[in-house]
Amino acid sequence: MTRYFEVTDRDGTARLGELRLDEPRETPALVGDLLEDYGSLWSDERDAPDEGDTSKVVVLPHRAAPPGTPSEVVEEKQPSPAERDFPSAAVVSAEKPEPSGHDVYILTGVRGGNSRNLVESVKRARRSLEPDSALFLPAAATPRNVATLAYLGFDAFDEDHAVVSGKGGTYMTRELEVPLEELEELPCACPVCRDSSPDELDGNDAARHNVNALRAELANVRDRIRNGRFRDYVEGQMRASRWQVEAVRLLDGTDYVEARVPVARRTEMDTNSSESLDRAEIRRFARRVTERYRAPRDDVAVLLPCSAGKPYSQSRSHGDFRDAIRRRAHEVIVTSPLGVVPRGLENVYPAAHYDTPVTGRWDAKEVEFVGGVLADYLRRNGYDRIVAHVEERGYGDVVEHAAEETDANIEWTVPEGAHPTDDVSLDALREALDGVEGATLDEEKRAYVRATADYQFGEGAGDVLDDAYVEGRLPRLRLVRESDDEHLGTLTPGYGTLAVSVEGARELGAASVEIDDFVPEGSVLAPGVVDADDGIRVGDEVIFEGPSAVGVGRARMHGDEMRRSSRGVAVSVRHSSDI
Ligand SMILES: [Zn+2]
């Protein structure tokens, strides 16, 4: 059990934490100055660590005791976790990291610059070691790489590499690592560099500057994590060196990332690089749309382009489209990088939260991915008619790609060279829907709730609407059980998900957390968790139940972390009652 480190916030694989010493330190951070190393002092007459001293982290002897060392000496110098009353660290090998109740683990044997080795090492360490311990990567951090290292899952670093490089004459910034003499001017305003020129700096100055730059970058990293925008930043920063791009790409698509990326949040998302297509949020959205979602009608679908404004229906172009369609068809938005967003899911994370550069040109990877998602979607939802109200270039290629894969017959309503919002296009759209019966407003609201229920809780969850009605105005809709007027959930703007009641959680099949014998108020803390479903992700609606209480809330860690952590908030409680 760790006692002096707590994870306070998460942004995917990266975390904010706090080393709880006399002077607390927020991580990711440099912590080299806080470590007191007992590593090679077996034979010395050094005292055992002081009980109750919380000014520093003691690195306990990690080498085997010399042959013949009396067991009481071993025990004194290497007390078991239960007996330790001071912050402690242990050195573990990247090959075989084993948990032993420490607050900090120093990972050794990571091969620098080898992206595959680095990614495998951090995955292994974070899986094996206690989730609420800090992972420390020594002698590696630079201003240029520390964001990527924190993104991979490291919490703590030292300044050794930056200092040694500086003393050797290397000047480091977020972008550069160059010999001092190659600089014409200093691209930095830290106290060392301000009002100086490169020829006035020596190795010690460069070392001090490097550490300043590293600290500044770590402050930046913490800020991005706090705001939930860390991935957006890393997609840019990683380009400073090849191995960082490799590492992020290698990590994408792994269970390690999938388990840690939130399913719902309010944070905006910039998808500005080709790696954005591989973000876990994007892939998960596409998967859920093609595996869980069911269209509310099967006569006519209209494929529409996305809009810069979100949610789409609030944009001017979609206002025009909706005027022309008048609920006479199922509206399906085609977009990069998400793939397909049925109208009912437009408020769901990240459909209402992403922003992406629009040039009208789609690259081959986008056409293939979005076209592939659209094909899967059309195979699952067999419409009698498919109307493509998109311009020929880009969007048209995607629709063609999907049509070829599925043999779908597409009706086109945007004339060559015209824009979908042009009158000629909108007239053609109206005409294509002539004679088709429109859905009622109530049916449309129900479609939003059903879509979200299936998306959030799994295929079939939306069947709860068979015995329920929907009240309120979009986007805030309440789901109420028909038979007894029991409130089941509310569609919440911002998150775009259903916030459920206890009854709602049961009916919709929300993931569950088993808790100990207590009645939680603001939150369920990790030590109170007895068991938790594997599939729980940050942001999920969960039901928690114990001998004395039942309630609902939003998950703050993933299921595995809830089970294995001894500190931190597992669930933010919305409603809790004793039983
Ligand atoms: Zn500087």
pLDDT tens for 380-432 read: 999 999 999 999 888 999 999 999 999 999 999 999 999 999 999 999 999 99
Provide, for the chain, the percentages of residues in helix, strand and coil under a 3-state DSSP scheme, each rounded to the nearest 5. Answer: 35, 20, 40
Q: Which residues are paired to 551 by β-bridges?
A: 544, 576
CA 315 / ligand 1 centre spacing (Å): 45
pTM: 0.94
CA 148 / ligand 1 centre spacing (Å): 21
CA 175 / ligand 1 centre spacing (Å): 13
CA 106 / ligand 1 centre spacing (Å): 29
CA 27 / ligand 1 centre spacing (Å): 22
CA 115 / ligand 1 centre spacing (Å): 28
CA 167 / ligand 1 centre spacing (Å): 14
Domains of the chain as residue ranges with CATH: 5-249 (3.20.20.105), 269-432 (3.40.50.10630), 441-505 (3.10.450.90), 510-578 (2.30.130.10)
Residue 65 is which amino acid? Answer: A
CA 51 / ligand 1 centre spacing (Å): 40
CA 516 / ligand 1 centre spacing (Å): 52
Tokens read off for 342: 């049925």
pLDDT for res 61: 74
CA-based nearest residue to 404, from 375, 362, 376, 437: 375
CA 188 / ligand 1 centre spacing (Å): 5
CA 212 / ligand 1 centre spacing (Å): 6
Tokens read off for 240: 């400073």
User: What torsion do the CA atoms of 196, 200, 206, 208 make, to the nearest 10 degrees?
Assistant: -60
CA 199 / ligand 1 centre spacing (Å): 14
CA 144 / ligand 1 centre spacing (Å): 14
CA 211 / ligand 1 centre spacing (Å): 9
CA 150 / ligand 1 centre spacing (Å): 22
Residues 6+ apart with CB under 8 A from 96: none
pLDDT for res 1: 59
Distance, CA of 165 to chain centre: 33
CA 198 / ligand 1 centre spacing (Å): 11
CA 191 / ligand 1 centre spacing (Å): 6
CA 239 / ligand 1 centre spacing (Å): 22
Tokens read off for 162: 């930056």
CA 210 / ligand 1 centre spacing (Å): 7
Which residues in the chain come in under a pLDDT of 70? 1-2, 39-48, 62-66, 77-78, 82
CA 174 / ligand 1 centre spacing (Å): 11
Q: Are residues 414 and 391 in contact, defined by beta-carbon separation less than 8 angstroms?
A: yes
CA 240 / ligand 1 centre spacing (Å): 18
CA 238 / ligand 1 centre spacing (Å): 21
User: What Å distances lie between residue 493 and 278, 319, 433, 541, 543, CA to CA?
Assistant: 26, 19, 31, 15, 21
Q: Enumerate helices (H) and strands (E) in the chain, giving the number of each.
A: 16, 29
pLDDT for res 383: 96
CA 203 / ligand 1 centre spacing (Å): 13
Neighbours of ion ligand 1 (CB under 5 A): 188, 190, 192-193, 209
CA-based nearest residue to 215, from 163, 271, 277, 285: 163
Q: Is 394 left (phi over 0), alpha (psi -120 to 50) or beta?
A: left
pLDDT for res 82: 67
CA 186 / ligand 1 centre spacing (Å): 7
CA 207 / ligand 1 centre spacing (Å): 9
CA 189 / ligand 1 centre spacing (Å): 5
CA 202 / ligand 1 centre spacing (Å): 12
pLDDT for res 250: 97
CA 322 / ligand 1 centre spacing (Å): 55
CA 141 / ligand 1 centre spacing (Å): 16
pLDDT for res 85: 84
Q: Which residues are paired to 177 by β-bridges?
A: 172
CA 268 / ligand 1 centre spacing (Å): 32
Collapsing DSSP states into helix, strand and coil, what is residue 315?
coil
DSSP at 549: E
CA 196 / ligand 1 centre spacing (Å): 9
